[in-house]
Amino acid sequence: MADMLYGRIIKALAGFYYVEADGMVYKTRARGRFRNNRQKPLVGDFCQFDLSGHQEGYILKMEPRLNVLERPPIANVDQALLVFSITEPDFDDILLDKFLAIVENADIKPVIIITKIDIDDTKMDDIKQRYAPYELHFIDSMSGDGVEEIKSLLKDKVTVVMGQSGVGKSTMLNALDKTQNIATGEISQALGRGRHTTRHVELIKMYGGYIADTPGFSSLEMKLTPEELSTSYHDFRELTPDCRFRGCMHDKEPDCAVKAAVEKGTIAKSRYAHYLVMLKDARLREEKKYG
């Protein structure tokens, strides 16, 4: 009789799933019934599997997920390090606000990492004010105190690293663990963005937790509905019960607590402006979908 084991998928590559269980890593495939049910195992999933040969086997059962991200395709994430640079490439607050909406909608804690402040620190105070509701870390270089600060965030967490290409994600991961040798791309001066260097998602064990490097990109397709977007940001969500109307979209409704917070300055006007743009786009998607 085959041995039954329980573990976590830490890598998916070329149709194989590498599952860590009891300190060992096993190479597995998914049974056909998962394809029939349109259920694809993801990195981060917990599963039961049997061994059909030496350190090889088949996934038999998937455990329920706490959350899932489509891009990168990963499940059961505790926190997201959103890595953005002040310069080279320039700080992209619109992309950051999109990331924040996506990860908070999935009940993943966002931690904002701002890099390259040794090149330009003039925007730090403005960023601190705009993103005061979030945990912020400013890194001047990928060594010394900056890296030690990031190491302390990883213990007992599954962490996904996200951000625009060229901001220093792979450099940061290499600084955290010099044995990884994760490929880094040069900034394309002509395009103003980095080359995509990460080819697959993999959980790497680091400092008492797991960290995943993911493909970098400079644009992001939003799929949130207007209702999901209106309650994604945790500071918007906390104020929503104080809005006059139930299901307030924080747009044209009177007596909106979120709009009042914007007027008071407790929510940055730039973040709210980005929210309205995303809300308009979400409504257009709904119209096209249901036409």
Domains assigned to the chain: 4-62 (2.40.50.140), 68-213 (3.40.50.300), 226-290 (1.10.40.50)
Residue spans of alpha helices (H) in 106-144: 124-130
pLDDT for res 35? 65
Residues paired with residue 136 on neighbouring β-strands, in sequence order:
112
Higher per-residue pLDDT: 191 or 283: 283
Maximum average pLDDT range among 13-17, 81-85, 115-119, 242-246 = 242-246
> Is residue 217 over pLDDT 70?
no
Q: How far is CA 22 from the centre of its chain?
A: 27
pLDDT for res 185? 44
Higher per-residue pLDDT: 34 or 13: 13
State the pLDDT confidence band at 187, using cuts at 50, 70 and 90: very low
CA dist 16 and 56 (Å) reads 10
pLDDT for res 188? 34
Q: What is the mean pLDDT of residues 40-61?
A: 87
What DSSP line would sit under 84-103, residue for residue? EESTTTTP-HHHHHHHHHHH
- The answer to whether the bond into 72 is cis (omega within 30° of 0) is yes
CA dist 80 and 265 (Å) reads 26
> Is residue 197 over pLDDT 50?
no
pLDDT for res 16? 92
> Is residue 238 over pLDDT 70?
yes
Length of the chain: 291
Rounded to the nearest integer, the mean pLDDT of the chain is 84
